[in-house]
Amino acid sequence: MEKKKSTVSSASQLIIQTPPSWIGVRHLQVVLLFLCMLFAYIIRVNISVAIVAMTGEKPDVDEYTWDTPTKSLILSAFFWGYLVMNVPAAVIGHSVNNKMLLGGSFACASILSLLTPLLARWGGATMVIIIRVCQGLTQGFMMPMIHGLLSKWAPPHERARFSTYILGGLNFGTMLVLSFSGLLASSPWGWPSIFYFSGGLGLLWVVLWMLLGANSPEAHPFISAAERQFIQRSLPSTARDDVKMAIPWRDILTSGPVWAATLAHIGQNWAMWTILTEIPTYFNKALNYNLSNGGFLTAMPFLLMWLVSFPLSYIADKLIIKGITSVTASRKIWNTVAHWGGAIALIGLAFATDSNMAVVLYTIAVTINCCIYMGFNVNHLDLSPNFARILMGITNGLANVTSIIAPLFVGLVINDETDIGEWRIVFLFSALAYFLGNLAFIILGSGQLQDWNEPNIHHSNNVNSDPKEDDRNSSA
């Protein structure tokens, strides 16, 4: 097949060529990882809707009289385990098969979901908190492993799209939870059916993953030779499975671009996880929507976010390939749309007194957040494909400190869940988190491949190369 004219970066010797086919095994891996994200977020977010029903008054179903601080502890408990495990999971994944780690950890999270109703009846809030911590520990493997797999499967000029498609499972999973959890809770089976549904889907995915997934193109049983060579030639800066590299901890921890991505990630988690965990209660209590209608209403922005992400990720990649934007500029532009645009929407939401206007502003804040997939979220792969899982473990682990603090902060601020004035404080703090995180990303961020991606190889600078061209080609 005739190839396009090669585009070569002196920094990474990256060659862009025509893929052997439009659809291949790499796309199958993307679909499987999308489903992983989808089912993982169903398991992760289901408690935010279920807890409203668990403390309700439905006959013939167990109910609990938990106060707001107790509910805030339950909502934040997942992130205690998630925070602890991210960096250790990334380090383990650096030397252990990522496919097996992802499948095994996901099976554990799914089984815990299935057991939640039984263990909640036996141990109350304490047992639910323990379950959520353990689910956080198991899901701590997910993002580092996905980034490790992407570094082996995603050609750089398809990177923003693949990342967006996979992480879109977050939005689609959230939409399903918010849409159908309320309906399940109001069904004859009550709120326990939310956890049975979540856990069952998770175990189904594990079976599919073990049958069809692979750690790398070299390890997949039925990938074509042409596609395998295409991927390998597109990723000259990514080490093969049999190559082990020492982790350059000092270079990573003193890297400005790594800290830029970390601070952006912190701002993202504070704002978005406040929305994810608290919006069902906000609509139910402050805006007087019943649970089933409110669930459908709060889910629609996540469907829009998912749909909008497809054309925007395509545009982001094309602008880089055509040389219109550098990788660095692209990442910062799209992240600014997500975070500063979201901050403006949240400020409006804080002062909105009309429920229809509140819904519109909430929809805007959620929908434009898809731009983070072309911003800081894919930036780990730009900086270092060999250590992308380590970078994600660091940024995701530190960012999830705020995922613990934010629900606890809400528990301290909200004394009356029907008081819109108290919710205003919550939304304004979320807007501030967006603003500061993106400001740091603009100042310190970069889209260039870092020298420490290959710590044992000295990179010489080509005095005749164009730095902007190198920046574009390191991802495109």
What one-character-per-residue DSSP string does 316-382 give? HHHHHHTTSS-HHHHHHHHHHHHHHHHHHHHHHHHH--SHHHHHHHHHHHHHGGGGGGGTHHHHHHH
Distance CA 242, CA 261 (A): 29
- Min mean pLDDT across 8-22, 88-102, 334-348 is at 8-22
> What does the pLDDT average to over 467-472?
41
The pLDDT of residue 445 is 96
Distance CA 337, CA 46 (A): 28
- Min mean pLDDT across 69-73, 95-99, 454-458 is at 454-458
Distance CA 389, CA 403 (A): 20
The answer to whether residues 398 and 266 touch, using CB atoms and an 8 Å cutoff, is yes
Question: Domains in the chain and their CATH numbers?
Answer: 24-240 (1.20.1250.20), 248-452 (1.20.1250.20)
The pLDDT of residue 198 is 92
The pLDDT of residue 15 is 46
Distance CA 95, CA 424 (A): 46
DSSP-derived letter for residue 463 is: T
- Min mean pLDDT across 143-152, 351-360, 465-474 is at 465-474
> By CB neighbour count within 10 A (0-12 exposed, 13-18 middle, 19+ buried), where does 272 fall?
buried
56 Rama class: left (phi>0) / alpha (psi -120 to 50) / beta: beta
> What does the pLDDT average to over 420-447?
94
The pLDDT of residue 472 is 40
> What does the pLDDT average to over 386-393?
92
> What does the pLDDT average to over 368-385?
93
Q: How far is CA 192 from the centre of its chain?
A: 26
The answer to whether residues 20 and 226 touch, using CB atoms and an 8 Å cutoff, is yes
In this structure, the number of other CB atoms found within 10 A of the CB of residue 469 comes to: 17
Q: Could you report the per-residue pLDDT of 201-234, keeping only the tens digit for each?
A: 999 999 999 999 999 999 899 999 999 888 888 8
For the chain, what is the total number of helices (H) and then of strands (E)?
16, 0
The pLDDT of residue 8 is 37
The pLDDT of residue 47 is 86
pLDDT band at 98 (very low <50, low <70, confident <90, very high): very high
DSSP-derived letter for residue 218 is: G
Q: Among 62-76, 148-162, 358-372, 432-446, name the most confident range.
A: 432-446
Q: Could you report the per-residue pLDDT of 158-195, keeping only the tens digit for each?
A: 888 998 999 888 878 877 877 777 778 777 788 888 89
Instruction: Report which of residues 241 and 471 the model is more confident about.
Output: 241
Q: Which of 73, 401, 89 is nearest to 268 (CA)?
A: 401
The pLDDT of residue 214 is 94
Q: Could you report the per-residue pLDDT of 242-252, keeping only the tens digit for each?
A: 667 889 999 99
Instruction: Report which of residues 475 and 90 the model is more confident about.
Output: 90
If you average pLDDT over every residue of the chain, what do you get? 84
The pLDDT of residue 467 is 39
The pLDDT of residue 403 is 72
Distance CA 391, CA 388 (A): 5
pLDDT at 459 over 50: no
Phi and psi of 407, rounded to 5°?
-65, -35
The pLDDT of residue 13 is 39
The pLDDT of residue 293 is 55
In this structure, the number of other CB atoms found within 10 A of the CB of residue 121 comes to: 12
Tokens of 263: 């601070």
Exposure of 197 in the CB half-sphere (CA atoms within 13 A): 24
Distance CA 389, CA 162 (A): 16
pLDDT at 347 over 60: yes
pLDDT band at 61 (very low <50, low <70, confident <90, very high): low
pLDDT at 476 over 50: no
- Identity of the amino acid at 227: E
pLDDT at 364 over 90: yes
**Residue that is written with structure tokens 């039925």 in the block:** 222
In this prediction the pTM is 0.78
pLDDT band at 56 (very low <50, low <70, confident <90, very high): low
Distance CA 21, CA 76 (A): 45
In this structure, the number of other CB atoms found within 10 A of the CB of residue 190 comes to: 21
Tokens of 310: 């497809």
pLDDT band at 19 (very low <50, low <70, confident <90, very high): low
The answer to whether residues 398 and 317 touch, using CB atoms and an 8 Å cutoff, is no
